[in-house]
Structure 1
Amino acid sequence: MKPDLADLNAFLAVARAGGFREASRTAGVGASTLSETVRRLEASLGVRLLHRTTRSVTPTEAGARLLERLAPALGEVAAALGAVDDLRDGLTGTLRLNVPVSAARLVLPAILPGFLAAHPGITVEIVPEDGFVDVLASGSDAGIRYDERLEQDMIALPIGPRVQRFATAASPDHVARHGRPAHPRDLLDHPCILGRFASGRLTTPWEFERDGEVIRVEPQARLTVGVGGAIDLGVAAAIAGVGVVTLFEDWLRPHLESGALVPLLEDWWQPFPGPFLYHSSRRLVPPPLRAFIDHVRGTP
């Protein structure tokens, strides 16, 4: 007996959620029903797909291989059915975007409200994640990343400001106690606030550029915060005088304008290209994503 789409979708939901009870909340099906469905799928395939313990549910090697191929395949099916629904009922569905926290804060607020107002039948789910992910395997329709973090087989569309800068700043109290650096290398004598990615890599070296000269410095960390959810803690610490912070200029701009932070080495702030909306070239573009792409292209 060949497995049907309902059984495959049940396995996908449980594997992504990491448990039957968790999957039942999003799938709208009882945990016992999901468990029985997955057992039926395993029996039809003749192989165990999930390791089950009292604490966790994880894919076996066979389950992981099936999951890797199944997620994009079912995404294609959903996109094809969505295209039919679009013709029948008007544009509906869910758009799932995987984005870094910086894009959620600095790029999407100028875009999403207008998109949602123009497409009342579409719902949007934003998944904040600063590491690069396979959008298909993660169950997302598209992502936002910077150019150096895009894979070659992705289709990329500029989104948001096309030129951004990293700004360096500190509190007035910090400047009064430690002085104002005249050159990027002077930061080696200042306590600084660094970020750490989920991979463990620090947000160093800090790069500065002026008249074609690029300077890289490895500042000493007085405080290290996780890139993403803890960045605001780093900014708050800088305002409190803990140390020097380097971050997106637009992120720091309200504090620079209020005087809570003062700019340092402003003529050395390095510009860089803005982010891109990217999606796979290997799959049919779902109608909600196509509508979002059209909206981004038409946004000033």
Structure 2
Amino acid sequence: MAVELNDLALFVAVARARGFREAARGLGASPSGLSETIRRLEAALGVRLFNRTTRSVALTEAGERLLARLGPALREVDSALDVVNSFRSRPAGTLRLNVPISVARLILPDIVPGFLAAYPDIRLEVVAEDDFVDLLAAGCDAGIRYDERLEQDMIAVPIGPREQRFAAAAAPAYLAARGTPAHPRDLLGHACVRGRFRSGAMPIWEFERGDETLRIEPQGPLIVSPGGAMDLAIATAIAGQGIVYLFEAWLRPALESGALTPVLESWWPRFPGPFLYYPGRRLVPAPLRAFIDHIRG
């Protein structure tokens, strides 16, 4: 049975992307070419690896078992090849990061351009999503999360500002019509723009001043998914439809322009900045090692 290692790697890429188009986009290949590769691999193995319909691509049981065994094996191949990379004058290869949407929006723009300029032989792939993922299962070298969501047995390196704040704000017209909250409990009588995670959970609005901490569950006219839909939440607040509660840095342009006015600023909670985290394995891939050196420098 002649099976090419590259065909196996492409199988893993399609399985992790859950589709030929998505995998092709990430690989710079054609969906039809990937589909033909998988057909060739299935013919060589004598089993179907994917169930295909016009709308979806899903692993068969055989495909799931193959993926479970191939992932660790291909990572070992990558590690072995990366030993050679250490002899190069400049690190090369691909670095895959899984990050929250807020980090992609607020922190990476100050880091990525300089990193790419310093390491032109490295290709950076950033997957921005707010769901917590298994890095290795997702095929990523490292992730960025806040300390309460870091996996155990991972090495964590600070990245970005070491202190951030959540902020509440509303349009001047809204406050003129509805009044300005003087205490977090006053929010229960206001229209507030809320977020809801894919799990169905809605983040609590937490405020603190001195030793006092309050957790509020306000109501409002709009609920959005945290991350990608937050621009809609901000636009709704600017239009005078309610109070928004978000990363201060995300609201800063609207606050500085006067489109939004700070609300309960003395109660805005502070929290530590995020961390880059990765498995504590002996050989750190050269692109990741270069990224760590860049953020530490």
Same fold (TM over 0.5): yes
Say yes or no: does 1:142 pair with 2:145.
no
**Distance across 2 between alignment mates of 1:134 and 1:56:** 23
Give 1:238 deviation, angstroms: 0.6
Output one character per residue of 1:169-217: Cα deviation in whole Å (capped at 9) or x when no partner: 10001100110111100000000001122222212x2100011111111
Counterparts of 2:167 and 2:88 in 1: how far apart (Å)? Answer: 50
Higher alpha-carbon deviation: 250-259 or 14-23: 14-23
Q: Which position in structure 2 is the counterpart of 1:173?
A: 173
How far, CA to CA, are the matches of 1:225 and 1:143 in structure 2? Answer: 24
Match of 2:40 in 1: 37
CA distance in 2, matches of 1:187, 1:124: 42
What's the % identity of the aligned pairs?
A: 64
Map residues 118-129 of structure 1 onto 2, 5 A cutoff.
118-129=118-129
Alignment of 1:65-214 (within 5 A): 65-88=65-88, 90-203=90-203, 205-214=204-213
For normalisation by structure 2, the TM-score amounts to: 0.91
The corresponding residue for 2:273 is: 274
Contact 2:10–2:34 (Cα < 8 Å) also in 1? no
Q: Which has the higher mean CA deviation after the structures are superposed, 218-227 or 4-13?
A: 4-13
**SS at structure 1 position matched to 2:87:** helix
If the length of structure 1 is used for normalisation, what is the TM-score? 0.90
SS at match of 1:79: helix
Q: State the AA in 2 paired with 1:192.
A: C
- Is 1:291 the counterpart of 2:290 in the alignment? yes
Compared CA separation, residues 86 and 33, structure 1 to 2 (3 A): farther
Partners of 1:20 and 1:270 lie apart in 2 by 44
Once the two structures are superposed, what CA deviation does each residue of 1:103-142 show, in whole Å capped at 9, x if it has no partner? 1111111111221111111121111101111111111111
* Cα distance in 2 between the residues matched to 1:21 and 1:223: 33
1:223-281 CA-partner distances (Å, limit 9, x unpaired): 11111211111011111111001101111112111111111111111111110001122
The residue number in structure 1 matching 2:236 is: 237
Q: 1:271 to 1:21 in 2, by over 3 A?
A: closer
CA contact (8 A) 1:7 1:41 kept: no
Letter paired with 2:37:
L
**Any unmatched runs of 5+ in structure 2?**
none
- CA RMSD, Structure 1 to Structure 2 (Å): 2.1
- Bigger shift: 185-194 or 64-73? 64-73
Range that drifts further, 283-292 or 242-251? 283-292
CA contact (8 A) 2:168 2:264 kept: yes
Is contact 1:80-1:286 (8 Å) kept? no
Is 19-28 or 262-271 further displaced after alignment?
19-28
Give the Cα separation in 1 of the matches to 2:72 and 2:277: 16
What is the CA distance between 1:16 and its match in structure 2? 2.6
Contact 2:85/2:286 (CA < 8 Å) preserved in 1? no
What is the aligned partner in structure 2 of residue 49 from structure 1? 49
